[in-house]
Each structure stands twice: as structure tokens, then as C-alpha cells.
Amino acid sequence: MAVEPTILRDALAQLLESMGDEVVDVSDVADGRGAPIDVALVTAGQAVGVESAVRIELPDATGAGGTGRVSWRGNEEAVEIYDFLSVLAVLDTYCPGSAPRMAQAHGA
């Protein structure tokens, strides 16, 4: 999973890694470098050169929340993203892990 913007990268990366996800910096995989990426998590409107099976665009870089977009296999859908938990819910829906991230976040 590639994560951008920088403001979210560290905190979200730590959370996702604690749940068993492998997280890489976007700059390490941009333009086809590195291993294939399952999910690119980026700020809407950012031109990030990462090829991924699923692209999740966060509403904005401020963290204020709102309507983001998910793109996968030629499909696109609007999603509401307001906090880390809603990011986990979107990930569970479009790129499920070995265990549901939302359940892990709630200590289940």
C-alpha cells in the first residue's frame, strides 16, 4: 500500500502496519519502481505516478474530510472519508486484508 500526503503518511502508516499491512512511501514506487501496489492512498487532485489495483483519493490534504473517490478495474465511486476509521472502512470494502481493519481498530 502506498500512502500520500506526508501529513497523513506517518500516522496512517503506523496504524496500518500495526494491522499487518505493508506500507511504502509513494516516492519509492512512483513511475513503476518497486513491487506491484494493491492500494494507492492519495490526496485528491495529486498526480502521483503509482500503478495500483485500487486508488483511494482522500478529499483534501487538510484532513477536514468529505467526499473522496475510489477507482478500481475501470470503476469509480464516491466515498465519504472523515477520519482514519472511515479510511479503514473503505480499505476493508475495496481491498480487504487478512483480517478486517475496522474490527482490529475496535479491539475485536
In tens, the pLDDT along 9-46 reads: 678 888 888 888 888 777 676 666 666 788 888 776 66
Q: In terms of DSSP bridges, do strands 37-43 and 2-3 run parallel, antiparallel, or are they unpaired?
A: parallel
Number of domains forming the structure of the chain: 1
Torsion over CA: 86, 91, 96, 101 (sign): negative
72-89 pLDDT, tens digit per residue, is 999 999 999 988 889 999
Query: Which pLDDT score is estimated for 88?
Result: 92
Q: Whole-angstrom Cα distance, residue 13 to residue 80?
A: 20
What is the domain extent for residue 48?
2-105
